[in-house]
């Protein structure tokens, strides 16, 4: 018998012999498949074939679609070197942000400076598979497609399936349209971007490019806009708030929709916990924290700084071009002092306001409320009024609620809050300043309030400055304008710039753009020329009629402001009292061409015409040029270049511009008696000895002469000079101490008379004084150092005794008799001689003036000489 079957044995066919006659065993009948089984197999084979055909068709179709939509797509290469448009940020000297230039508020932050907390908040909220996906998320796309199919015909926004990479493509390579074709292009480009650059680069682009509301582009700008913080200071809750914004920046804006923003934030926190970014405990603490958004302080305006900022912007455009200035993300540090800028703006506005109340008249109401608004709810109607440009911070819009002949009742609100109402009065006496002018002078006194104010009139008031006879004062924006400029003469850094009443009202910068006649404020450069010629401060010159034949054959006959002559006067007294005739006689002696050379070297003008009226201010210049020239005097003749910008830095920290280095060689050696040796740029324009003589004479101007109103109460050495043009059209005062030079101009944009006796000292002096009292508070009292070899001596004229400076070899009183003879306007004069008949020493090469050779010596006019004849020409040159 065969043994038992073993593993691997085959079953053999049964070969057992059959018995003869025995029936053969029946074979089992084959089981035929049923109809269902046959049908199922056919169907399966059909489905398989269809699927195969479908796959092939899909591949072919997909390839066709890919080729179709790939055609004309933008290259992803530019993303490798992409530099997003960044705003240029301008800072004051105390690092306060004062302006941002550009169309988009964006602060670029490189990858290594973006906190992981922030980047992972965005990844958890927007694209959890960012680090592993190929640029698209196929499952999310399928899910979005299925959901969107159910929304066909509805107005619901399609469900998003965009990855971070796709959002970068959408924002930077494509437009923001939402349609099928654009989504395919977006996916194709996302695959290409993912192959072309690293995930870190893609994430950096995304976090700096994404718009997050509040005009904030990128996470750094958003952190500032919503929480007034840098990225490094954000908490988990704050990072999650920002991470929730890309889906819908407006809908989840915490300022506009705090409840939605809170829910969205908490959802992002939950995702961060699930992704392991934060712990459960941290998530619970973050969810429990309040939303607490804090609007960024941003570019808090500095009063009047718009003129300075515009000047900086113009300089940046000149240096770097328009595109770099507006999109290059420059970091600009300037010399602006916000505290002094506010002080200067207040000083100028106070002065213009006071002038307007003295010489102006009421311009009428800002607008009017109708009778219904006035009687129903005047406060609500007032709150809807637009704040006029140029309204001072302490002023308010008020409405005349009612009036009687003797008093007007005024209502106003606080900070546009209709619920916070106030009432006050304006009496007839408080309105008298605003009565109309008659022939340029205030007209008859008002007899009733109703002559000026009517119920419903919306007016400007100052509730903090009670007027005489009223609880508020009536105000208005003056028509008269003014400018002020101040700088450090050692470095040239401009600390303040006032270009007018309001930059919002008029961007025209009267400090840099207004070309006006400077009048007598140019006279220090006339007297500097005389000092360079060897004339002593106590030398005698003639204050007597001056005539000069002009090119057209006419005679030029100027006069003094007082229309009188003093005869022989010392040089120091002539500049102190701003005597035109004495100055012109001096100019004729030293040569008009030499005076013109100084005007041009000190850059008062590019070219001074060789006419005598120009020597006393009948030429056009700007406050910027005048302050620059005076700064050079303050620096003892060293050329000074005004500077607005300290440095400009690129976004990567590379310094693009640095103001020239300024240092001092002997400032720390205790040599207080010596003139500092300055290691600063700037050509030598004049000998320090001659400049110092002029400085000492300019001190007399403010201590005894026309500049007295400007320095009241300052009690320190100050040098300055007034300027008043013909017909009192322009008023100037420029003055300096060793550490600061400041200039002021006041006048009308269209030149016209400022009023009788409105001289530079009377008009500009008070504004200059108000500013300098604040600017110099706490500053050391520094005298002007006497250059080595020079001596100081007391000299007198009449009852006045002053201290003047003399060069080595000069003897006080030695030029008291210069051999003056009667003036012959058409005669020729010899060189200036001293009392010994020797030629005076000078530090420049004298030249003829190009018209006449100079004045003959003249005999002094007797005391009490007659006034100038009626033919005196006062239309050319300065007055005072």
Q: Read off the pLDDT of residues 75-127 as tens digits, 9 standing for 90 and up.
A: 666 677 777 788 899 999 999 999 999 888 888 888 999 999 999 999 999 98
Most confident of 47-51, 206-210, 743-747: 743-747
Please say if the pLDDT value at position 415 is more than 90: no
d(C-alpha 334, C-alpha 343), whole Å: 18
Is pLDDT larger for residue 820 or for residue 142? Answer: 142
Question: Average pLDDT, stretch 119-145?
Answer: 82
**Helix residue ranges, H only, 33-105:** 35-70
Burial class (CB in 10 A: 0-12, 13-18, 19+), 217: buried
pLDDT digits (tens, 9 = 90+) for 272-282: 999 999 999 99
Measured CA to CA, the distance from residue 482 to residue 348 in angstroms comes to 7
Residue bearing tokens 């250059």: 787
Helix 236-243 vs helix 116-126: angle between axes, to the nearest 10 degrees? 40
Instruction: List the single range of 41-45, 46-50, 157-161, 318-322 with lowest mean pLDDT.
Output: 157-161
C-alpha atoms less than 13 angstroms from C-alpha of 122 in its C-beta half-sphere: 25
**Nearest residue to 530 via CA among 592, 485, 480, 469:** 592
d(CA 666, CA 525): 29
Distance of CA 88 to the CA centre of its chain: 12
Lowest average pLDDT, out of 38-47, 111-120, 769-778, 794-803, goes to 38-47
Determine the 3-state secondary structure of 328 from DSSP. Answer: strand
Answer whether 705's CB lies under 8 Å from 448's CB.
no
pLDDT top residue among 216 and 873: 216
Whether 562 is catalytic is no
Number of helices followed by number of strands (H, E) in the chain? 24, 28
Angstrom CA distances, 314 to 250, 335, 824, stand at 35, 16, 51
Alpha-carbon distance of 484 to 771, in angstroms, equals 10
Asked if residue 643 has pLDDT above 80, the reply is yes
Q: How many CB atoms sit inside 10 A of residue 664's CB?
A: 13
pLDDT band at 146 (very low <50, low <70, confident <90, very high): low
* Residue (of 690, 685, 692, 698) closest to 632 by Cα position: 685
Catalytic annotation, pick one of 162, 520, 578, 690: 520
> How would you classify the pairing of strands 730-737 and 719-724?
antiparallel
Q: Beta-carbon neighbour count of residue 104 at 10 Å?
A: 18
- Closest-CA residue to 479 (of 498, 444, 505, 456): 505
Cα 377 versus chain centre, distance: 40
Q: Is the pLDDT of residue 469 over 90?
A: no
Q: Is 548 helix (H, G, I), strand (E, B) or coil?
A: strand
Token output for 85: 């448009």
- Is 804 annotated as catalytic? no
CB proximity list for 509: less than 8 A, separation 6 or greater: 307, 310, 311, 483, 497, 499, 500
- 451 burial (CB, 10 Å; 0-12 / 13-18 / 19+) is middle
Listed ranges 143-147, 209-213, 512-516, 544-548; the one with the highest mean pLDDT: 512-516
| Mean pLDDT of the region 771-791 | 96
Helix (H, G, I), strand (E, B) or coil at 841: coil
Residue 195 token pair: 């192959």
Q: Is 39 exposed, middle or buried (0-12, 13-18, 19+ CB in 10 A)?
A: exposed
Q: Which residues contact 211 (CB under 8 A, 6 or more apart)?
A: 171, 217, 249
For residue range 826-877, list pLDDT tens digits in order. Answer: 222 333 333 333 333 344 433 333 333 333 233 333 333 333 333 333 345 5
Cα gap 486→493, rounded to integer Å: 9
* pLDDT one-digit tens code per residue, 704-743: 999 999 999 999 999 999 999 888 899 999 999 999 999 9
pLDDT in tens, 494-530: 999 999 999 999 999 999 999 999 999 999 999 999 9
- The pLDDT value recorded for residue 676 is 46
On the question of pLDDT at 190 being above 50, the answer is yes
- H/E stretch holding 540 reads strand 540-543
Is residue 815 within 8 Å of 570, Cβ to Cβ? no
Q: What angle do CA 32, 33, 38 make, to 5 degrees?
A: 145
Q: Specify the range with the lowest mean pLDDT, choosing from 1-10, 149-158, 300-309.
A: 1-10
Residues in the chain: 880
Pairing type for strands 494-498 and 481-487 reads antiparallel
The more confidently predicted of residues 269 and 863 is 269
pLDDT digits (tens, 9 = 90+) for 652-705: 889 999 988 544 455 444 444 444 444 566 789 999 999 999 999 999 999 999
Count CB-CB contacts under 10 A for residue 525: 26
Catalytic hit among 87, 119, 124, 126: 126
Determine the Cα angle at 493 with ends 492 and 498, to 5°: 110
Q: Which residues, at least 6 apart from 702, have a Cβ–Cβ distance to it below 8 Å?
A: 708, 710, 711, 718, 719, 720, 735
Q: Provide the pLDDT for residue 323.
A: 93
Across 280-297, average pLDDT? 88
If pLDDT is split at 50, 70 and 90, which confidence band does 419 have?
Answer: confident
């Amino acid at each position: 018998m065969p043994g038992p079957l073993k593993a691997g044995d085959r079953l053999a066919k049964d070969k057992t012999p059959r018995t003869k006659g025995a029936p053969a065993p029946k074979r089992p009948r084959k089981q035929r498949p049923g109809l269902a089984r046959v049908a199922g197999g056919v169907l399966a084979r059909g489905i398989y074939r269809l699927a195969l055909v479908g796959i092939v068709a899909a591949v072919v179709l997909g390839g066709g679609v890919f080729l179709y939509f790939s055609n004309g797509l933008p290259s992803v290469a530019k993303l490798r070197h992409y530099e997003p448009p960044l705003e240029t940020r301008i800072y004051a000297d105390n690092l306060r942000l004062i302006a941002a230039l550009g169309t988009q508020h964006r602060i670029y932050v490189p990858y290594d400076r973006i906190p992981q907390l922030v980047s992972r908040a965005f990844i958890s909220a927007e694209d959890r598979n960012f680090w592993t996906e190929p640029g698209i998320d196929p499952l999310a796309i399928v899910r979005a497609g299925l959901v969107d199919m159910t929304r066909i015909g509805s107005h619901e926004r399609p469900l998003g399936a965009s990855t971070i990479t796709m959002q970068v493509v959408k924002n930077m390579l494509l437009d923001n349209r939402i349609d099928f074709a654009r989504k395919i292009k977006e996916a194709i480009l996302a695959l290409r971007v993912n192959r072309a650059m690293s995930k870190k680069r893609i994430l950096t682009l995304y976090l700096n490019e994404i718009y997050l509301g509040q005009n904030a582009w990128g996470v750094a700008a958003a952190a500032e806009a919503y929480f007034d913080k840098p990225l490094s200071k954000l908490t988990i809750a704050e990072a999650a708030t920002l991470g929730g914004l890309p889906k819908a920046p407006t809908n989840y804006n915490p300022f506009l929709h705090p409840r939605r923003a809170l829910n969205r934030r908490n959802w992002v926190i939950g995702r961060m916990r699930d992704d392991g970014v934060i712990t459960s405990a941290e998530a619970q603490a973050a969810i429990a924290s309040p939303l607490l958004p804090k609007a960024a302080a941003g570019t808090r305006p500095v009063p009047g700084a718009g003129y300075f900022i515009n000047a900086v912007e113009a300089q940046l455009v000149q240096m770097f071009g328009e595109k770099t200035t507006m999109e290059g993300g420059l970091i600009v540090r300037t010399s602006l002092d916000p505290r002094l800028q506010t002080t200067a703006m207040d000083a100028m506005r106070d002065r213009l306001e006071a002038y307007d109340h003295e010489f102006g008249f009421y311009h009428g109401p800002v607008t009017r409320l109708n009778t219904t608004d006035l009687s129903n709810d005047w406060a609500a109607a007032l709150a809807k009024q637009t704040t006029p440009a140029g309204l001072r911070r302490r002023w308010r819009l008020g409405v005349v609620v009612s009036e009687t002949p003797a008093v007007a009742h005024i209502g106003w609100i606080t900070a546009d809050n209709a619920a916070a109402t106030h009432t006050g009065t304006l009496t007839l006496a408080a309105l008298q300043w605003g009565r109309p002018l008659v022939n340029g002078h205030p007209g008859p006194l008002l007899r009733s309030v109703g002559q000026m104010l009517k119920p419903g009139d919306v007016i400007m008031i100052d509730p903090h400055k009670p007027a005489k006879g009223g609880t508020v004062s009536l105000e208005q924006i003056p028509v008269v304008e003014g400018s002020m400029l101040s700088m450090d003469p050692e470095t040239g850094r401009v600390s303040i710039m006032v270009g007018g009443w309001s930059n919002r009202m008029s961007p025209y910068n009267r400090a840099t753009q207004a070309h006006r006649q400077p009048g007598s404020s140019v006279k220090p450069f006339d007297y500097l020329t005389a000092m360079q010629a060897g004339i002593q401060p106590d030398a005698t010159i003639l204050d007597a009629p001056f005539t000069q034949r002009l090119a057209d054959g006419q005679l030029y006959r100027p006069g003094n402001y007082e229309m009188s002559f003093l005869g022989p006067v010392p040089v120091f007294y002539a500049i102190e009292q701003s005597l035109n005739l004495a100055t012109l006689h001096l100019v004729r002696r030293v040569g008009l061409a030499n005076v013109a050379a100084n005007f041009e070297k000190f850059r008062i003008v590019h070219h001074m015409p060789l006419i005598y009226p120009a020597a006393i201010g009948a030429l056009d210049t700007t406050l910027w040029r005048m302050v620059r020239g005076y700064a050079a005097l303050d620096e003892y003749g060293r050329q000074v270049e005004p500077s607005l910008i300290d440095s400009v830095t690129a976004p990567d920290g590379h310094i693009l511009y640095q103001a020239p280095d300024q240092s001092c060689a002997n400032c720390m050696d205790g040599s207080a008696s010596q003139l500092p040796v300055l290691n600063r740029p700037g050509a030598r324009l004049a000998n320090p000895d001659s400049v110092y003589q002029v400085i000492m004479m300019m001190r007399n101007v403010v201590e005894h002469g026309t500049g007295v109103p400007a320095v009241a109460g300052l009690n320190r050495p100050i040098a300055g000079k007034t300027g008043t043009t013909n017909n009192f059209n322009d008023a100037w005062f420029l003055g300096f101490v060793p550490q600061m030079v400041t200039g002021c101009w006041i006048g009308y944009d269209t030149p016209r008379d400022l009023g009788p006796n409105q001289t530079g000292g009377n008009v500009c002096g008070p504004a200059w004084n108000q500013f300098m009292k604040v600017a110099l508070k706490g500053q050391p009292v520094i005298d002007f150092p006497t250059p080595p070899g020079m001596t100081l001596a007391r000299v007198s004229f009449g009852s006045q005794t002053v201290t003047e400076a003399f060069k080595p070899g000069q003897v006080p009183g030695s030029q008291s008799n210069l051999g003056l003879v009667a003036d012959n306007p058409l005669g020729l004069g010899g060189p200036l001689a001293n009392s010994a008949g020797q030629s005076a020493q000078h530090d420049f090469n004298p030249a003829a003036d190009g018209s006449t050779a100079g004045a003959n010596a003249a005999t002094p006019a007797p005391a009490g000489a007659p006034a100038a004849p009626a033919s005196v020409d006062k239309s050319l040159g300065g007055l005072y």
